[in-house]
């Protein structure tokens, strides 16, 4: 029933445990995904064996959470979590219990978050074990907390974001009592670490078939204002209808998120934040003909600054943050490609984020005025230079200019940029011709 490269390894662990008198069951998400005919991400194994017994049975283990009954077993180099059936004691830090009591499969199921994640599968007998009604909720496509929703969320407030993420990625509804508990406790999400919050948000954005629905759900549940307070001001922020017939900034951004297909985290966050600078820059100006027009002057730069603050607040990696900030800050330049010089086009295409920027622009267009002619221009130009380096090595360097008497400093950089642009535009056949031209230009100008 499982189509996964790790299945046989997980089965061998279960058989080893079963062969020594211990019960061993696949648990949680892998069972849910199996029943939905989805590929499992990983295999977690729940067992009656104690952590000491697990360590004794397998040669290569790591005690990653031994105090909570969790041992990591390495089989052919692949890691599997093997956890003893347990009940949790009181939660004192909003994330982990102060201790656990080893127990039965039924009691273990009762401590889990949602019914669809509380299922077990016996890989030896080949049957599903359901103590919490998870199979019925899978059929009804419902996310339901196990037991008292408020108690489940109080144990770990991140579960509120997880509920929204599962509902979005699985395209399920959240059961009314579970949703009501989230709305009541939504303010508590700020107790969760930035790193854990960011991980859930990123998975919602990248794993959802329609990520816009996931953000809409966060707003409906009252969570969005606490985790991403910069997003709700997009709601009702009008845009010029001649460019954005689809509606306000929030509607436009959600349409773009819904259009994503298996995006990278950089693309997903760039889409969400590309217009975050519009609400604070919104203004209505009077045009020369007497008409009013909505404008967002400098919104890309403002948005880039906001995006950097948001992503640093969420403790995102510097690599992702820098890439998203660059995409947000430069997303408007794609509207100018028909008027760009060849050197500028080459620099645009040669940027490390180019493919992400191009897709951001394409979806931006399709989710507004629908004119994707700039995408066609860029693809045509890319085809034209496909047998050349997009950004060839500069023919001239600072050393060349020092040899003709130019001191190092900002003017040198400006002259080298002028020379490189001319090289990219194929204005000279070789280095010597370029250098001769540059020397004549320098003689006419003041480079001190």
- 348 neighbors 340 (Cβ within 8 angstroms): yes
Percent of the chain with pLDDT over 90: 73
Domain span at 62:
7-140
Same domain? 367 vs 241: yes
> How crowded is the C-beta side of 106, counted as CA atoms within 13 Å?
1
- 246 neighbors 335 (Cβ within 8 angstroms): no
Same domain? 148 vs 286: no
Q: Specify the residue for token string 């061993």.
A: 24
CA separation for the pair 69, 60 (Å, rounded): 17
Domain boundary among 96, 124, 140: 140
Average pLDDT, the chain: 92
Does residue 446 have a pLDDT over 60?
A: no
> What is the pLDDT at residue 143?
98
Percent of the chain with pLDDT over 70: 96
In a domain, 1, yes or no: no
In a domain, 242, yes or no: yes
- What predicted TM-score, i.e. pTM, was given to this entire model? 0.85
Q: Quick: pLDDT tens for 362-411.
A: 999 999 999 999 999 999 999 988 877 777 888 899 888 888 888 888 88
Same domain? 105 vs 204: no
Same domain? 91 vs 112: yes
- Give Rg (Cα) of the chain: 28
Domain boundary among 125, 140, 155: 140
Q: Once rounded to an integer, what is the mean pLDDT over residues 334-350? A: 90
In a domain, 2, yes or no: no
Q: Quick: pLDDT tens for 106-163.
A: 999 999 999 999 999 999 999 999 999 999 999 999 999 999 999 999 999 999 999 9
CA separation for the pair 358, 270 (Å, rounded): 12
| CB atoms near residue 374 (< 10 Å) | 18
**How long a stretch of residues is the chain?**
448
Same domain? 310 vs 437: no
Domain boundary among 208, 229, 250: 229
| CB atoms near residue 177 (< 10 Å) | 12
Closest CA to 32 of 165, 138, 140: 138
Same domain? 314 vs 375: yes
Own/partner pairs, 223-226, CB within 8 angstroms, 24+ separation: 223/160, 223/161, 223/164, 223/182, 223/186, 223/189, 226/186, 226/187, 226/189, 226/190
CATH number of residue 358's parent domain: 1.10.3210
CATH number of residue 203's parent domain: 1.10.110.30
Residue 142 has φ and ψ, to the nearest 5°, of -130, 140
Per DSSP, 112 falls in state S
């Amino acid at each position: 029933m499982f189509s996964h490269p790790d299945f046989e390894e997980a089965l061998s662990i279960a058989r080893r445990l079963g062969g020594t008198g211990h019960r061993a069951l696949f648990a949680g998400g892998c069972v849910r995904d199996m029943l939905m005919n989805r590929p499992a991400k990983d295999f977690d194994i729940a067992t009656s064996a104690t952590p000491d017994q697990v360590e004794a049975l397998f040669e290569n283990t790591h005690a990653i959470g031994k105090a909570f009954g969790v041992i990591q077993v390495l089989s052919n180099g692949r890691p599997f979590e093997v956890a003893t059936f347990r009940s949790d004691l009181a939660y004192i830090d909003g994330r982990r219990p102060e201790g656990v009591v080893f127990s039965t499969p039924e009691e273990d199921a009762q401590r889990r978050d949602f019914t669809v994640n509380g299922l077990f599968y016996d890989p030896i007998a080949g049957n599903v074990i359901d103590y919490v009604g998870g199979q019925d909720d899978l059929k009804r496509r419902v996310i339901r907390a196990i037991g008292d929703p408020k108690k489940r969320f109080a144990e770990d407030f991140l579960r509120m974001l997880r509920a929204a993420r599962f509902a979005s990625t699985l395209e399920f509804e959240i059961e009314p009592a579970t949703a009501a508990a989230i709305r009541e406790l939504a303010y508590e999400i700020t107790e969760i670490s930035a790193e854990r919050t960011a991980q859930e948000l990123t998975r919602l954005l990248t794993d959802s078939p329609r990520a816009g629905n996931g953000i809409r759900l966060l707003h409906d549940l009252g969570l969005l204002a606490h985790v991403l307070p910069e997003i709700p001001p997009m709601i009702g922020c009008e845009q010029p209808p001649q460019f954005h017939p689809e509606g306000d900034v929030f509607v436009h951004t959600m349409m773009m998120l819904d259009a994503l297909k298996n995006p990278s985290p950089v693309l997903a966050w760039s889409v969400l934040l590309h217009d975050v600078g519009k609400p604070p820059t919104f203004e209505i100006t009077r045009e020369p003909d007497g008409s009013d027009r909505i404008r967002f002057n400098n919104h890309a730069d403002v948005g880039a600054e906001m995006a950097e603050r948001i992503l640093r607040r969420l403790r995102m990696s510097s690599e992702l943050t820098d890439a998203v900030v660059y995409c947000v800050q430069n997303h408007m330049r794609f509207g100018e490609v028909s008027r760009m010089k060849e050197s500028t086009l080459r620099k645009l295409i040669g940027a490390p984020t180019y493919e992400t920027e191009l897709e951001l622009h394409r979806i931006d267009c399709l989710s507004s005025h629908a004119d994707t002619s700039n995408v066609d221009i860029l693809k045509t130009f890319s085809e034209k230079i496909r047998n050349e380096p997009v950004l060839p090595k500069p023919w001239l360097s600072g050393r060349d200019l020092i040899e003709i008497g130019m001191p190092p400093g900002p003017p040198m950089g400006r002259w080298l940029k002028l020379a490189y642009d001319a090289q990219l535009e194929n204005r000279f056949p070789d280095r010597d011709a370029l250098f001769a031209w540059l020397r004549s230009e320098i003689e006419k100008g003041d480079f001190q």
